Amino acid sequence: MLIDGHGRKVDYLRVSVTERCNFRCQYCMPEKPFSWVPREELLSYEELFEFIKVSIDEGVKKVRITGGEPLLREGLDSFIKMISTYKDDIDLALTTNGFLLPKSAQKLADAGLKRINVSLDSLKPDVAAKVAQKDVLKTVLKGIQAADDAGLKIKINCVPMKGINDNELVDIIDFCKEKGYQVRFIEYMENDHASKYAKGLNSEEIQELIKKSYNFEKLEREGSSPSQEYKLEDGYVFGIIEPHKDDFCATCNRIRLTASGVLIPCLYYEDAQSIKEAIKNKDIPKAVAILKDVLANKPEKNKWTEDSEVSARAFYETGG
Ligand code: SAM
Ligand code: SF4
């Protein structure tokens, strides 16, 4: 079992397979970065899998593949197959912008993927295009349907932004309710890489907007889910991810591995350690030692709880 320096059990590993992306979301990567990490500096799928095996052997129960846009990296289905066949009860999930799902959803399901989170910030083509800086909506909706048809369990992620999609939150709930997907609204996390015009809504503001159409109650927080759930009168449950709240970090069970082998203990801070050399040298005891050291130094809290704090970390690098 993996326990961090604050006594929290860590059993969830998020693995970013690429920092590259085919969208330019205002809150994440509004402009193409000055340079990408060269491909030859990335860990191969086999090398990433070596570390995933180590983590599973040490107690990780849930693995999420993310990015950048993970479906941009070729052979993702084979990577998923490696993980799903190593331990068939591993909770294996993927977070994607959905654009490449029409072609890949069935292959991913066949490889053993069970769950998928798709980002959907708007149901209006022009607004979705404004957020992603590309005409994406039709293809993303096709992708979500393809994932549904392939039998994947779907959650929708939406980042509410002031003056952009804040008049659509109820429409997004209605869409997800009808389709049987859970929606989770994610509070915008201020970061140096986002557009300087990006302004998010906090949980209270999100709730106020939804209250205009629906009554709902706050549910007891369960396990280490980052999402606070709320139940509408008809039983539909939506979530809000509230990193600006004091208690958000109390049950944090996550660590993150980037495509270049950097192990990150917290989404906010820049501290991290590389497991790249240990994995390339097949030095598993060293990889385990680095993992334990990173956990021992995992910060107790992010800093978004403090007014006007901005993280220097890029979401497209850490995988969100
Ligand atoms: N490209 C994929 C996607 O967009 O779903 C996966 C990577 S993305 C970095 C993972 C999640 O982080 C997405 O749900 C995205 O909306 C969220 N995200 C990115 N930047 C964010 C920010 N500044 N604040 C809150 N959520 C953010
Ligand atoms: Fe790409 Fe996802 Fe970031 Fe949007 S949120 S730019 S889709 S990595």
Per-residue model confidence (pLDDT) at position 312: 83
Total domains, the chain:
1
Q: Does residue 52 belong to any structural domain of this protein?
A: yes
Ligand 1, atom 2, residue with closest C-alpha: 96
Per-residue model confidence (pLDDT) at position 57: 94
Per-residue model confidence (pLDDT) at position 33: 87
Q: Does residue 7 belong to any structural domain of this protein?
A: no
Per-residue model confidence (pLDDT) at position 103: 96
Write the CB contacts of 89 (distance below 8 Å, at least 6 apart in sequence).
none
CATH number for the domain harbouring residue 67: 3.20.20.70
Site to substitute for ligand 1 among 99, 186, 192, most atoms within 8 A of C-beta: 186
Per-residue model confidence (pLDDT) at position 201: 96
Q: Does residue 6 belong to any structural domain of this protein?
A: no
Q: Does residue 3 belong to any structural domain of this protein?
A: no
Q: Does residue 145 belong to any structural domain of this protein?
A: yes
Q: Does residue 200 belong to any structural domain of this protein?
A: yes
Q: Does residue 291 belong to any structural domain of this protein?
A: yes
Question: In this structure, which long-range contacts are made by residues 192-196, counting pairs with CB atoms below 8 Å and at least 24 apart in sequence?
Answer: 192/310, 192/311, 192/312, 192/314, 193/28, 193/29, 193/30, 193/33, 193/314, 193/315, 193/316, 194/26, 194/27, 194/28, 194/30, 195/26, 195/27, 195/30
CB 2 near ligand 2, within 6 Å: no
Ligand 2 geometric centre to CA of 271 (Å): 22
Question: Of all atoms in ligand 1, which is nearest to the CA of residue 27?
Answer: 23
Ligand 1 pocket at CB < 6 A:
21, 27-28, 66-67, 69, 95-97, 119, 157, 159, 186, 188-189, 191, 194, 315-316, 319-320
Single pTM value for the model? 0.96
Site to substitute for ligand 2 among 119, 189, 258, most atoms within 8 A of C-beta: 119
Mean pLDDT by 10-residue block, N- to C-terminus, for the chain (320 residues)? 90 96 96 88 96 95 97 97 93 98 98 97 98 98 98 98 97 98 96 92 97 96 86 98 84 93 88 94 95 90 79 86
Conformation bin of residue 10: beta by default, left when phi > 0, alpha when psi is -120 to 50 = beta
Interval 209-239: pLDDT, tens:
999 999 999 999 877 788 999 999 999 999 9
Per-residue model confidence (pLDDT) at position 139: 98
Per-residue model confidence (pLDDT) at position 270: 78
Q: Does residue 2 belong to any structural domain of this protein?
A: no
Per-residue model confidence (pLDDT) at position 305: 77
Output the CA torsion sign for 112, 118, 124, 130: negative
Ligand 1 geometric centre to CA of 161 (Å): 13
* Residues of the domain holding 261: 12-318
